[in-house]
Amino acid sequence: MNAATADLQAWLKAKGQALVIDGEAGPVTRRAAVEAFRNPKAPAITPAELKLVADRLGATVQQVSAVAAVESGGAGWDETGLLRCLWERHYLWKRIRFAIPLLSDPTPGGYTVDADHDGVNDSWEKLGTAAARFGRIAFECASFGKFQLMGANWQKLGYPSVLDFVWQLSRGELAHYLAFARFLEANRLVVALRQVSGRPDDCRALAVGYNGAGYERFAYHAKIAAAYEAAMQRVGGQP
């Protein structure tokens, strides 16, 4: 019996997935690791909730909304109700230190949406396969939700486990904004958020802190500035 698989199965079963806890990394476990996080009825954040998050950060609704619009295209779920997810194969490689086609590689990349045309997001398929084999650590190797936060952040952000982190994100949009607030607070980026404006240079501090040193190659600072301007044109600044 694979203890990591059995642990994952027990957690998924407690969340309503029909599983036998046998420690076997079969197709039922792989599918359950995906379906547990599908929630087509997840409630959207309300304007009042968005204002509370902005107030917590000492920022404006438009500043928060600008980042939300840039990360993952502003959507927290795909059209099938699956939480947004991007598999990062180099994260798993760092954990296991051996390559597995599609799943583990020392270099980032390999991003596809539905290469096998089966209607299931490829990142989730990779995550389900890796989770069935390696358990919880697979969820640390992908980014999730409206703000594309890495599962590996779960402990730093104060969640009980990586599975609880991803589960909470799948329940409703407010959880995405609260996780974003925790991320900014934990990484001392609150002041950078407060500086966001329609000027790209004002967005550099947040862009580098949030997206890393390569932010300029993807013009994240300019994208945030443009999204801020767009938010200023909308009533309430909703993304």
User: Which pLDDT score, from 0 to 100, does residue 239 have?
Assistant: 52
d(CA 177, CA 239): 12
d(CA 61, CA 233): 12
User: Which pLDDT score, from 0 to 100, does residue 143 have?
Assistant: 96
pLDDT confidence band for 168 (50 / 70 / 90): very high
d(CA 132, CA 183): 28
Q: Is the pLDDT of residue 31 over 80?
A: yes
User: Which pLDDT score, from 0 to 100, does residue 212 have?
Assistant: 87
CA 143 from centroid of its chain's CA atoms: 4
**Beta carbons of 211 and 189 less than 8 angstroms apart:** no
Q: Is the pLDDT of residue 237 over 60?
A: no
Long-range contact pairs involving 26-30 (C-beta distance under 8 Å, separation at least 24): 26/132, 29/5, 29/131, 29/132, 30/125, 30/128, 30/129, 30/131, 30/132
Q: Is the pLDDT of residue 1 over 90?
A: no
Q: Is the pLDDT of residue 75 over 90?
A: no
User: Which pLDDT score, from 0 to 100, does residue 234 have?
Assistant: 78
Q: What digits encode the pLDDT tens for the residues 95-143?
A: 999 999 999 999 999 999 989 888 889 999 999 999 999 999 999 999 9
Give the H/E segment covering residue 11.
helix 3-14
d(CA 172, CA 218): 29
pLDDT, mean of residues 5-13: 97
- What pTM does this model have? 0.93
d(CA 130, CA 188): 32
